[in-house]
């Protein structure tokens, strides 16, 4: 066991001087404190939110999740429109971003000429570097008016008999928010899927090629099945990002706590209502209800992230054994 030998060498060296030993234990304690600091921080985060949300949890109970009324004047709060807006905008975004991201990941890891791969990957990842508020600004003044004048009228004129395309189009609304979200989560999903596709061993691909598979068949039969947990993890991480995204969504979703059948109607998300109302609220039930919304979002994103990390780690260790291609 080399690691045991390392340990013995290190221990012997460390005990050589008393001063060194003292310095070592001090340094180790400080580093230990920093590492446990992250654990404490997570605990404190959940505890503080729960503590502040307690008032609202006691007042509304489970009815908070199903009530549609959100009225600060009457001091009645229900979370349903926000939960609906958050989930629907994120799922719509996934529906648009996942096929594109997987196409990019496959192209960048399997098909593209070698010289093009890293520059192109770098450029796609630049999308992740643009701040959310800049997406929002572009969304308000460019994307939402564009969608409201072209794509949305097209769908409501031609496919208006389907309820999700019915009703007036404003530009701002659920659909615009979903398009912005899709652009924002694209780099996350494509980068992590690409990683897990690159982790598939060369032997697997060569085996498929030796059987006479075309490039696409190689991807479909050798690469995708082995990279599946990583891809799934990437999609879940993207979903987590979309659910919690605040600024860009707040700026284009219309901020109206209603549940309508049409995807072109204005809506509201958990993160947006917190962004809009939290700074003006002082204390009491209104704040507690907003914090309870934050707590709901936190629990959802915690669970999704936990799941995604476990999946991504699984591909890293399993398919990563072989040579990188």
Partner 1 sequence: MKNDLRRRSRKIKSGIAYFLCALSAILALIPLVLILGYVIFQGAAALNIDFLTQLPKPVGETGGGMGNAILGSLILIGIAAVLGLPVGVLAGVYLAEFRNPRLSWTVRLLADILSGVPSIIIGVFVYTLLVLTMKRFSAFAGGVSLAILMLPTVARTTEEMLRMVPDSLREAALALGIPRWRTIVSIVIKTAGGGIMTGIMLALARIAGETAPLLFTALNSRTWPTGLDKPVASLPVQIYTYAIAPYADWHEQAWAGSLVLVLMVLLLSVGSKLYFGRKMRSVK
State whether the Cα torsion 28-30-34-37 is positive or negative.
positive
What is the SS3 assignment for 71?
A: strand
Q: Nearest 5°: phi and psi at 76?
A: -120, 130
- Cβ within 8 Å of residue 259, ≥6 positions away: 68, 80, 81, 84, 85, 267
Closer residue to partner 1, CB minimum distance, 47 or 261? 47
Nearest distance from residue 116's CB to partner 1, in Å? 9
Nearest distance from residue 317's CB to partner 1, in Å? 13
**Distinct helix (H) and strand (E) counts, the chain:** 15, 2
Nearest to 203 by CA among 325, 314, 312, 111: 325
- How far is 19 from 24, CA to CA, in rounded Å? 8
Closer residue to partner 1, CB minimum distance, 296 or 319? 296
Closer residue to partner 1, CB minimum distance, 62 or 283? 283
Q: In the beta sheet, which residues pair with residue 242?
A: none
Nearest distance from residue 236's CB to partner 1, in Å? 10
Closer residue to partner 1, CB minimum distance, 33 or 261? 33
Nearest distance from residue 261's CB to partner 1, in Å? 27
Closer residue to partner 1, CB minimum distance, 52 or 325? 52
Nearest distance from residue 53's CB to partner 1, in Å? 10
Under a CB-based contact definition with an 8 Å cutoff, are residues 180 and 170 in contact? no
């Amino acid at each position: 066991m080399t690691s045991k030998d390392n340990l013995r060498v290190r221990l012997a060296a460390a005990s050589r001087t008393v001063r060194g030993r003292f310095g070592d234990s001090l340094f180790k304690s400080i580093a230990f404190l920093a590492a446990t600091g992250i654990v404490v921080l997570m605990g404190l985060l959940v505890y503080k939110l729960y503590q502040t949300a307690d008032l609202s949890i006691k007042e509304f109970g489970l009815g908070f999740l199903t009530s549609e009324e959100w009225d600060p004047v009457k001091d009645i709060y229900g979370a349903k429109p926000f939960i609906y807006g958050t989930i629907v905008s994120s799922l719509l975004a996934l529906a648009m971003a996942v096929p594109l991201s997987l196409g990019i990941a496959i192209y960048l890891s399997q098909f593209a000429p070698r010289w093009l791969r890293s520059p192109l990957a770098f450029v796609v990842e630049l999308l992740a570097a643009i701040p959310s508020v800049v997406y929002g600004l572009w969304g308000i003044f460019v994307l939402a008016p564009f969608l409201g004048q072209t794509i949305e009228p097209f769908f409501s004129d031609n496919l208006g008999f389907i309820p999700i395309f019915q009703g007036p189009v404003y530009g701002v609304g659920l659909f615009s928010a979903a398009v912005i979200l899709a652009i924002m989560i694209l780099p996350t999903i494509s980068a992590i899927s690409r990683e897990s596709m690159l982790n598939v061993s060369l032997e697997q691909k060569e085996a498929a090629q030796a059987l006479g598979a075309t490039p696409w068949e190689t991807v479909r039969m050798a690469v995708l099945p082995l990279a599946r947990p990583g891809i799934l993890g990437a999609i879940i991480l993207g979903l987590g990002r979309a659910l919690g995204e605040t600024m860009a969504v707040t700026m284009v979703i219309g901020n109206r706590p209603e549940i309508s059948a049409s995807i072109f109607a204005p809506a509201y998300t958990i993160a947006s209502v917190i962004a809009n109302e939290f700074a003006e609220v002082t204390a009491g039930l209104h704040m507690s209800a907003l914090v309870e919304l934050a707590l709901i979002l936190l629990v959802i994103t915690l669970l999704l992230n936990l799941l995604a990390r476990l999946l991504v780690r699984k591909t890293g260790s399993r398919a990563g054994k072989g040579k990188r291609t």
